[in-house]
Structure 1
Amino acid sequence: MNRLGESIITQTKVFYGWYVVMSGFVIMFAAFSIINALHSLFLVPVTEDLGMSRTTFSLALSITGLGVAGASPFMGRFLVKSNMKLIMSVCVIVAGLGFASFSLANSALYFCVVGFLIGICVAGFSNIPISIMITNWFYEKKGMAMGIAFAGSGVGAAALSPLLSSFIEQFGWRISYVIAGGLVIVITLPFVLLFTKKSPIEKGVIALGSNNQVTTVQLHEEESGMTVGEAKTSAKFWLFIIGIVCFALVAGGVQMHIPAYLVDIGHPVLFAGTIFGLLSLTNTVGKLILGVVLDKFRTVGGAIYVGICMTIAMLALLSATTQSLAFVFAIAYGLSISIATLGPPFMTDDLFGKKNFGQLFGIVQVFFVATSSLGVIVSGFIYDVTNSYRFAWIFFMCLFILGMACVLIATSIKKNHP
């Protein structure tokens, strides 16, 4: 039997790409959620013990994001050209050991230096390689695959938060850093070693939804798309970048200020926490829903869908003095802001093709990571100037609509000038 026949028989069993998706889910569940979302659990015990201000600690943690942004352009190219499994494995180990080494910290400088190194490693094991693999493995159901993989971060934050909080309470923050760093390695590394496959060629099969009449080698050779140079000189690339920047600013600028805003307008602290938790839950579900929408309606349908949801969310937020509208906000915002996770990789592939996806997505990630942290500052600035969040919410709603419009125009250019 020829290789193509063997490939088709293999895919009638369990398509190996779903194991790749499972690996991505675990990476986001453990390593990504611990290093990113759950690091905030250490804020109070670390600052109180070291006599460090919360602002200083928060700024030190933001250095991790700078590491991700700085590494993203070359990491995308490096992962495509080199041994992806080896790179991801080294990055997971170094990131886990680095996180555990925070137990030795006695100053903000230590958190900054090690955090920057960890950020470089995060770029090497999370969004970029997972997106590259899923883009290679899935021509059909790519959105669903990305939705499942990236949902791991939300599930991980929810599942591991009480566990890590318990460790901090029982053993203190230093020992808990060691435990958390160990969890990053112990949970994540086996899945990277067992299931990481850059493309179907490594398993001798073809991508899901590709033309079954060509071999994987032929398919690889026939991949089309823009080169990095072509993209950088095209209007649609920079329109797309503006759209991604708008999404990133909204993602960073709204969510972190929600508890404070709800308390300001008269809701109890407990209710504000409930809404914040619901928002995180619906964001996880939203990734799965948006993945299906993107598969069926591509970039245009996905942009319109999240634009409608975000408009509903922000209008509800502006009137959230009633609890029912606060719930509407949490659901609609969670569904819409999932575009911040799925939009960059899916749309990069959809608009610019697979030919240089890794390098182009690495560039896109620089803009996304660099601007998402600015959103929190923008919200705080508007509040300080106006003594209200209302103008901030109106600004972010308009910004999101602008981002949606830029993506739609970029898609239109793609159709007219492929």
Structure 2
Amino acid sequence: MEKKKFKGWGVLAAAFIMSFIPTGIMSNCFSLYMAPVCNNLGFSNTSWSLVNLIASFASAIGAMVIAGMYQKKNMKLTMTIVTIGTCLCWVVATFCTAIWQFYLVFALSNIFMAGLTQLPISMLVTAWFEDKRATMMSIAYAGGGLGGAVWSPVISHFISANDTGWKTAMIFSAAVVAVVMVLTALFLVKRSPAEYGTEPYRTGEGEKTAKTEENSGAWIGVSKKVATKSGAWFCVIGVVMFTGILSAGVTTHVPNFVTSVAQDGGKLQGTVLSVYSIVSIIGMVAGGALMDKIGIRKTVLGAAVLVIIGLASLYAYSVSGTVMLAFGYSIFFAIAMFLPKVLPAVLMSKVFGTKDYGGIYAFANLFFLIGAAFGSVLTSIIQGIVGYGITWIVYMFVAVALFLCVSGALKGGEKLQEKYPQGDE
């Protein structure tokens, strides 16, 4: 029998495109619209900030709905529909004149957009790559960082053209996403290897890893119902919430912190963030490769150490004001920032298998968003009471808690696999 050609490389390209285009041009550049929209329409920054919060939770709801559609219905057709829905919302946004209209439009937009970003990327890579899954996941997600770097100056150029340049930028973004993602959905997206009579990618090197925890097994996994009632689930919730708290709680406040210490009008923060962006792309790919090479537990332990070093650099910067210490954050903390995207996506399949992956991942993502929303507020509260220096020390303990939850989740996953070696049904 003739061996069928492996189609997973095209699927990986599709996942990278989802990260580079809709994530890069819409999600990662969305913050660029705050100032021009508020200035043009007379909104306050606070009222516009609620757009982000509402859109985030709408995205979580959308992910839970669309995950079921991707698993049970035609994925190509569903992705085409959510692409059109997302882009139409962005076009409609250019006609909005009241802040409540933006709330409504971007809530609806993010319900659709949940089907174009993290959810389909994680589902597709998990389905097509049994071995080297973390590496492939990190390659796909690296497109988001690269997309932000590429599209940010383009969007900024449109926005700065005139008072209503933000409208041109939104229409441009919608057009690019519509054309690219419809073509990607039709020609590159393929839900699973089984549908095309082939197998997921395997290297045959699974037995070479040091511990059973790190082997790429073919365990089908358990249903969402069983997963969410297990002890492992509570550890996974801890992982995603602590990851959200850590990433949002630190990254959203560092620019203000650096400027408050430097007193330079924001010049240093721009350099710090530029270095951070470059290093985080490298860290994204390296983190996934390390997960495949030495395992999830050891990689997260290393990442937690890097996070602590990065936070210690911020603390030392708050005390001494030495500029080079601020770049400790840009290097050490940034390397570890594969955690928010790659870790949950890989950990979910490791602990619960692939049987009901989309539904489990989408549900867990809701808790990540809760953690992210809480993290930003938590930093504001703590720094308001004891200052930024002590705040960074608090987040060191969050990094430790994250590692402990990962260890607990992996142990819980091993117990599930022992209890349900052939799946739960």
The reply to whether TM is greater than 0.5 is yes
* Structure 2 partner of 1:219: none
* Maintained 8 Å contact 1:101/1:177: no
* Structure 1 partner of 2:129: 138
* Maintained 8 Å contact 1:97/1:182: no
Task: Give the alignment's TM-score, normalised by structure 2.
Answer: 0.90
Are 1:247 and 2:243 counterparts? yes
Are 1:190 and 2:198 counterparts? no
Q: Which runs of 5+ in 2 are unaligned?
A: 206-217, 418-425
* Structure 1 partner of 2:360: 360
> Is the alpha carbon distance of 1:417 and 1:192 closer, same or farther for their aligned partners in structure 2, counting shifts above 3 Å?
closer
SS in structure 1 at match of 2:220: coil
* Structure 2 partner of 1:157: 148
Are 1:226 and 2:227 counterparts? no
More deviation in 144-153 or 222-231?
Answer: 222-231
* Maintained 8 Å contact 1:307/1:401: yes
Q: Distance in 1 between matches of 2:172 and 2:29?
A: 13
Which residue type is aligned with residue 356 of structure 1?
D
Q: Give aligned-pair identity as a percent.
A: 25
More deviation in 337-346 or 180-189?
Answer: 180-189
Q: Report how far residue 210 of structure 1 moved.
A: 7.4
Task: Give the alignment's TM-score, normalised by structure 1.
Answer: 0.91
* Maintained 8 Å contact 1:100/1:180: no
SS in structure 2 at match of 1:265: helix
* Structure 2 partner of 1:206: 199
More helix by percentage:
1
Are 1:369 and 2:388 counterparts? no
* Structure 1 partner of 2:421: none
Q: After TM superposition, what 4+ stretches of structure 1 lie above 3 angstroms from structure 2?
A: none
* Structure 1 partner of 2:325: 325
Are 1:281 and 2:278 counterparts? yes
Q: 2:166 aligns with which of 161, 173, 177?
A: 173
* Maintained 8 Å contact 2:38/2:48: yes
Deviations 1:156-186 (A, max 9, x none): 1100111111111125222222122212212
> Is the alpha carbon distance of 1:414 and 1:328 closer, same or farther for their aligned partners in structure 2, counting shifts above 3 Å?
same
Q: Distance in 2 between matches of 1:6 and 1:409?
A: 41
Q: Distance in 1 between matches of 2:359 and 2:295?
A: 22
Which residue type is aligned with residue 399 of structure 1?
V
Deviations 1:265-306 (A, max 9, x none): 226321111101211221111110011011122321222121
SS in structure 2 at match of 1:179: helix
* Structure 1 partner of 2:422: none
More deviation in 312-321 or 406-415?
Answer: 406-415
* Structure 2 partner of 1:94: 85
* Structure 1 partner of 2:104: 113
* Structure 1 partner of 2:397: 398
Q: Which runs of 5+ in 1 are unaligned?
A: 213-221
Deviations 1:295-348 (A, max 9, x none): 122321222121111111111111122222221211111111211010111000
Which residue type is aligned with residue 73 of structure 2?
S
* Structure 2 partner of 1:305: 302
* Structure 2 partner of 1:351: 351
> Is the alpha carbon distance of 1:289 and 1:211 closer, same or farther for their aligned partners in structure 2, counting shifts above 3 Å?
closer
SS in structure 2 at match of 1:319: helix
What pairs with 1:31-50 in structure 2 (closer than 5 Å)?
Answer: 31-50=22-41
Q: Distance in 2 between matches of 1:155 and 1:417?
A: 37
* Structure 2 partner of 1:389: 388
Q: Distance in 2 between matches of 1:276 and 1:23?
A: 28
SS in structure 2 at match of 1:170: coil
* Maintained 8 Å contact 2:240/2:365: no
What pairs with 1:74-93 in structure 2 (closer than 5 Å)?
Answer: 74-93=65-84
Q: Report how far residue 74 of structure 1 moved.
A: 2.8
Q: Report how far residue 37 of structure 1 moved.
A: 1.8
Q: Distance in 2 between matches of 1:100 and 1:37?
A: 18
